[in-house]
Amino acid sequence: MNVISERRRTGRPLSFDRDAALTQAMMVFWRHGYEATSLADLTTAMGVTAPSIYTAYGDKKRLFLEAVRRYLSGPVTSDSIIDEAPDGRAAAARLLETAALGFTGDTTPPGCLLASAAISCSAEAADVQAELAAIRRGIEDRLRRKIAADRGTDAEALAAHCMAVVQGMSTLARDGASRGKLLEIASIAMRAWPNA
Amino acid sequence: MNVISERRRTGRPLSFDRDAALTQAMMVFWRHGYEATSLADLTTAMGVTAPSIYTAYGDKKRLFLEAVRRYLSGPVTSDSIIDEAPDGRAAAARLLETAALGFTGDTTPPGCLLASAAISCSAEAADVQAELAAIRRGIEDRLRRKIAADRGTDAEALAAHCMAVVQGMSTLARDGASRGKLLEIASIAMRAWPNA
DNA sequence: AGCGTTTCATAGTGATCATTATGAATGTGA
DNA sequence: TCACATTCATAATGATCACTATGAAACGCT
C-alpha cells in the first residue's frame, strides 16, 4: 500500500513537479490575490503551460483552492495554535504573534493570503470569496470556543477583535509595515484582555 | 461670481447629473473594489454611456480617485474626527466607532471603500494601491501625532493598532458582521489603552 | 437661420481574459 | 514492436476588458 511507489500504469509521465508548481502558484496568489492573478502569471511562475495546469489541477478556481489548502496546512496551522494553547488568552497571543511573523516573512509575500485574495471580488468570484469567508469564520469560531472555555462573558468580542487585528495586520504588512511594528500591534492588542 | 449660475457658453448641455452619477460610481467601487469593477458595471450603475464617462471624468482611474475623494469628504471625515477630539484616546475611540457605524450602513455597501479597493491589485493598478496606502498612512500619521501630544511612549503602536482594527472591521463587515459586533470590537480595542 | 461647440449613442478598437481543440511526443504493458 | 494511455506544445476559442473613432444631436451666440 505504498502510495509513493504507486504509479499510473500507462501514459506519458508528468514533466513537472506538481508540488513545487503548486507552491509557486500559491506565491503568486499570495502576492496578487485571486482575480488579479492571470493564467499567464501562473504559467510563467509555475513554468507550466496552460493545458498542463488544467489537466493537473482542474481550472483556476480549483488551483486557487488547492493553494489555499497548502497555505493553511503548514507545520504551524492556526488550528494547532489555538488547540494546543493552554488557554484562550495564550491562543489569541500566539495567533497574533504567528500572524505578525507570517505576514512579514522574507521569503514570502507580505500579508495574509486569505486576506489578500478575499477582498475586491467581482460577482463571478463570489463563491471563492464565500469559501474564504467560511475559512475565516472557522478560525474565529475555534478561537471563540477556546476563549469561552475559560471565560464566558466576552469570548465572542475578544475573538472578533483578535481576528480584526490579524486582518488589519495583513493590510499594514502589505503597506510596508515592518515585523517589529506588527509585533508591537500584537502586543497592544493583547492589552485588551482583562487581568493583564 | 455665482458659480452655480455660471454656464458654459456653448455646446450641448450634460444630460446627466454629474454628482449623482459619481455617487453611484462610488457605490459600485465601494462594493466591488477598483479592479473588479468593470466599465460595464459603471455604465449600468451610473446610467451613463462609456464615452460620456470618459469626457466627464477622464478615465477609470481618475473616476475612481474622484470617488475616493467623495468617500473621504463626507460631513464627518476622519481628519475632523481626529482633530476635533479632546485627546488622542478620544480620537481613537471616535475613529473606531465611526468606522463601525460607517461600515454597516443600511444604504451603503458593507466595509470600507479604501480597504475593499486596496487589496488584490495587479501590477498595472499598483499606482492606485500606492495612492490608497498613502491615504491610510496619512490618517495613521494624524492619529499618531494626536496621541503623541498626550502621551509620548507608545503613540505609534497605539495608532497602528487602531488602524489595524479599523481595517479588520471592514473585512468582518464584508463577511456579514453586524453593527453591534463591530461596536463590540471597537469597545474591546479601546481596552488596550492604559488607565482605563 | 446658421455657425461653433459640446455631448450624444452606436459601434468598434486591439489587448487580455480563462479555457480548450488538436495532434505530436512519451511513457507502460503485452 | 505495437496498441494504449496520458501529457506535451502550439495555437486558437469566444468573452470581456478599458478605451475611442465617428457622426448625429442639442445647445448658446450672432
Q: DSSP letters of B24-54?
A: HHHHHHHHH-STT--HHHHHHHHT--HHHHH
Q: Is the CB of B178 under 7 A from strand C?
A: no
Q: Which amino acid is at A158?
A: L
Q: Which bases of strand C sit closer than 7 A to a protein CB?
A: 4-12, 16-22, 25-29
CATH code of the domain covering residue B155: 1.10.357.10
Rg for chain B, CA atoms, rounded: 19
Q: Given a cut of 50, is residue B158 above it in pLDDT? A: yes
Is B35 an 8 Å CB contact of chain A?
Answer: yes
Shared domain for A185 and A121, answered yes or no, is yes
At A109 the pLDDT is 96
Angle between helices A60-72 and A50-57 (to 10 degrees): 60
Length in residues, chain A = 196
Q: Which of A161, A169, A193 to mutate to test the interface with B (most CBs of B within 10 A)?
A: A161
The CA distance from B79 to B65, in Å, is 18
- Is any Cβ of chain A less than 8 angstroms from the Cβ of B124? no
Q: Closest nucleotide to residue A39 (Cα to C1')?
A: C18
Residue B177 lies in a domain: yes
| Domain region containing B56 | 18-71
- B123 with B143, same domain: the answer is yes
Residues A87 and A26 grouped into a single domain: no
CA angle B78, B76, B116 (to 5 degrees): 55
Nearest protein residue by Cα to C1' of nucleotide D5? A11
Q: What is the DSSP letter of A75?
A: S
* Interface membership of A114 toward B (CB under 8 Å): no
Strand D nucleotides within 7 Å of a protein CB: 4-12, 16-22, 25-29
Residue B166 and residue A168: Cβ atoms within 8 Å? yes
Q: What percent of chain A has pLDDT over 90?
A: 82
Residue nearest to nucleotide D25 (CA to C1'): B12
Q: Do A121 and B36 touch (CB under 8 A)?
A: yes
Q: Based on the domain organization, do B181 and B97 belong to the same domain? A: yes
Residue A8 belongs to some domain of the structure: no
Q: Name the grid cell of B79.
A: 481628519
Q: Is the CB of B59 within 7 Å of strand D? A: yes
Quick one: cell of A61?
Answer: 478556481
Closest CA to B188 of A127, A160, A91: A160
Q: Which residues of A touch B167 (CB under 8 A)?
A: 164, 167-168, 171-172
Distance separating alpha carbons of residues A116 and A90, to the nearest angstrom: 26
The ipTM estimated for the assembled molecules is: 0.91
Q: Cβ separation of B171 and A117 shorter than 8 Å?
A: no
Cα separation, B175 vs A129, in Å, equals 9
User: What φ, ψ does residue B58 adopt, rounded to 5°?
Assistant: 105, -115
Residues B94 and B38 in one domain: no
Residue B106 has pLDDT above 90, yes or no: yes
Contact A185, B161 (CB under 8 A): yes
Could you count the other beta carbons within 10 Å of the beta carbon of residue A168?
A: 27
Q: Do B66 and B80 belong to one domain?
A: no
Here the cell at position A183 is 509585533
- Retrieve residue A65's grid coordinates: 483552492
Domain annotation covers residue A49: yes
CB within 8 Å of B141: residues ≥ 6 apart: B159
Q: Is residue A3 part of a domain?
A: no
Determine the pLDDT at residue B119: 67
pLDDT tens digits, B72-81: 998 789 999 9
Is B145 in the same domain as B114? Answer: yes
Q: What share of chain A is helix, strand, coil (3-state, %, to 5)?
A: 65, 0, 35
CB atoms within 10 A of CB A71: 21
Ranges A87-96, B70-79, B178-187: which has the least confidence: B70-79
Q: Which of A40-49, A110-119, B81-90, B174-183 has the lowest mean pLDDT?
A: A110-119
Task: Check: CB of residue B156 under 8 Å from CB of residue B144.
Answer: yes
Structural domain includes residue B4: no
* pLDDT at residue number A5: 43
Collapse the DSSP code of A194 into the 3-class scheme (helix H, G, I; strand E, B; otherwise coil) and give the result: coil
B3 is a domain residue: no
The answer to whether some atom of strand C lies closer than 7 Å to the beta carbon of B14 is yes
Cβ of B50 near strand D (under 7 Å)? The reply is yes
B143 and B130 together in one domain: yes
CATH number at residue B59: 1.10.10.60
Q: State the total domains in chain A.
A: 2
Q: Does B131 touch chain A (CB under 8 A)?
A: no
Structural domain contains residue A149: yes
Q: Which of B9, B36, B71 is the last residue of a domain?
A: B71
In a domain, B106, yes or no: yes
pLDDT digits (tens, 9 = 90+) for B39-52: 999 999 999 999 99
The answer to whether the beta carbon of residue B43 comes closer than 7 angstroms to any atom of strand C is: no
Same domain, B176 and B122: yes
Q: How many other C-beta atoms are found inside a 10 Å radius of the C-beta of residue A18? A: 13
Long-range contacts, stretch A70-73, CB < 8 angstroms, 24+ apart: A70/A22, A70/A23, A70/A26, A71/A26, A71/A30, A71/A113, A71/A114, A72/A135
Are residues B124 and B158 located together in one domain of the fold? yes
Q: Which of A71, A96, A112 is the last residue before a domain boundary?
A: A71
Specify whether A55 is located in the same domain as A143.
Answer: no
Residues B134 and B184 in one domain: yes
